[in-house]
């Protein structure tokens, strides 16, 4: 029987969508139809389990799944001994303390002897222990943000992304406790065959992530400006410089980080670059 890698994914929501898209770009496709909770991937030896996000750490820890994609917040809260293989750069958020917006916040001491509603009691308790804060923590499974409004708690500790949910419930963020993003985790007891499959999967994911964060740039430059432009565009090793048919001009090709795009473009134009083209990279093998 051919070895398959079994991965646990959140069955719906933003984390599911981002995970599915990443795997699809890595050439690993699966069909989630008819309410199925298990599916086989095409073009890669993998079986997919669709679970609640808070069940993923235990599922991997128990060996039911070999690997999983889960938020760091859930991983930290559950506390299972899993290997974090790779941070994936999506589904970013933070876990923060928030209080009613009309209340004046005077610092962490404000939480002393207050009631805090949260779905992450272990993370919050560790934070308060480190800060020597004595507070009463109420664990709530969902709709944490309504707790102060109905008199259940004085404040909340919850996931914050855009902050719109806090605003809608007349709350304000006052302390960030941790940042979180999606991570790929694995069991500590994978067989050599499954470790090899995981290595292949990571290779594909690295290629996808590198391509998403970089752009291919082509431009024309006068030869007396090429050295300066090459200094601006270091590339992966160094830019490619090719002579143009028009005497005194060259074509320069390189890769730039998307984060530096506009800054670099301005510098290039100041140094005589013309006909600048920016091209998406489908895959980038490092």
* DSSP letter string, 237-281: S--EEEE-SSTTEEEEEEEEEGGGHHHHHHHHHHTT-EEEEEEE-
Instruction: Write out pLDDT tens, residues 126-163.
Output: 999 999 999 999 999 888 999 999 999 999 999 998 88
Q: 126 and 27: one domain?
A: no
pTM: 0.82
Lowest mean pLDDT among 40-44, 154-158, 174-178, 260-264: 260-264
Q: Is residue 285 included in any domain, yes or no?
A: no
Q: List, in order, residues 6 or more apart from 67 with CB less than 8 Å away.
A: 5, 6, 7, 8, 60, 85, 184, 185, 186, 187, 198
pLDDT at position 236 is 62
Domain CATH for 155: 3.40.190.10
Name the range with the highest mean pLDDT among 42-46, 111-115, 270-274: 111-115
pLDDT at residue 227 tops 70: yes
Q: Is residue 286 included in any domain, yes or no?
A: no
Q: What's the chain's length in residues?
A: 286
The per-residue pLDDT of the chain, averaged, comes to: 91
Range of the domain at 13: 5-91+181-211
Distance in angstroms (rounded) separating the CA atoms of residues 264 and 284: 20
Distance in angstroms (rounded) separating the CA atoms of residues 6 and 191: 12
pLDDT at residue 107 tops 80: yes
Domain count, the chain: 3
Over residues 154-182, mean pLDDT? 94
State phi, psi for 282 to the nearest 5 degrees: -70, -50
Q: 196 and 245: one domain?
A: no
**Long-range contacts of range 239-247, CB-CB < 8 Å, 24 or more positions apart?**
244/220
Over residues 56-69, mean pLDDT? 96
pLDDT at residue 260 tops 80: no
Q: 105 and 235: one domain?
A: no
Over residues 197-226, mean pLDDT? 91
pLDDT at residue 197 tops 90: yes
């Amino acid at each position: 029987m051919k070895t398959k890698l079994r991965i646990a994914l959140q069955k719906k929501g933003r984390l599911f969508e981002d995970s599915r898209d990443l795997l699809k770009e890595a050439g690993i496709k699966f069909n989630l139809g008819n309410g199925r909770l298990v599916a086989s991937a095409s073009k890669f030896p993998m079986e997919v389990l669709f679970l609640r996000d808070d069940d993923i750490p235990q599922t991997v820890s128990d060996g039911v799944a070999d690997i999983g994609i889960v938020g760091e917040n859930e991983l930290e809260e559950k506390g299972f001994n899993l290997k974090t293989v790779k941070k994936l750069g999506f589904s970013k958020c933070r876990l923060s303390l928030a209080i009613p917006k009309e209340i004046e916040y005077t610092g962490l001491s404000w939480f002393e002897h207050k009631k805090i509603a949260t779905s992450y009691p272990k993370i919050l308790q560790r934070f308060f222990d480190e800060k020597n804060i004595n507070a009463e923590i109420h664990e709530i499974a969902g709709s944490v943000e309504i707790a102060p409004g109905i008199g259940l708690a004085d404040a909340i500790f919850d996931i914050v992304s855009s902050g719109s949910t806090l605003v809608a419930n007349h709350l304000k963020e006052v302390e960030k406790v941790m940042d979180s993003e999606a991570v790929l985790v694995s069991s500590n007891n994978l067989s050599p065959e499954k470790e090899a499959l995981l290595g292949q999967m990571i290779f594909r994911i690295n290629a996808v992530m590198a391509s998403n964060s970089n752009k291919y740039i082509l431009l024309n430059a006068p030869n007396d400006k090429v050295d300066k432009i090459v200094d601006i565009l270091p590339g992966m090793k160094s830019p490619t410089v090719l002579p143009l048919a028009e005497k005194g001009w060259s074509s320069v090709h390189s890769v730039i980080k998307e984060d530096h795009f506009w800054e670099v473009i301005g510098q290039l134009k100041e140094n005589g670059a013309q006909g600048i083209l920016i091209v998406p990279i489908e895959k980038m093998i490092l």
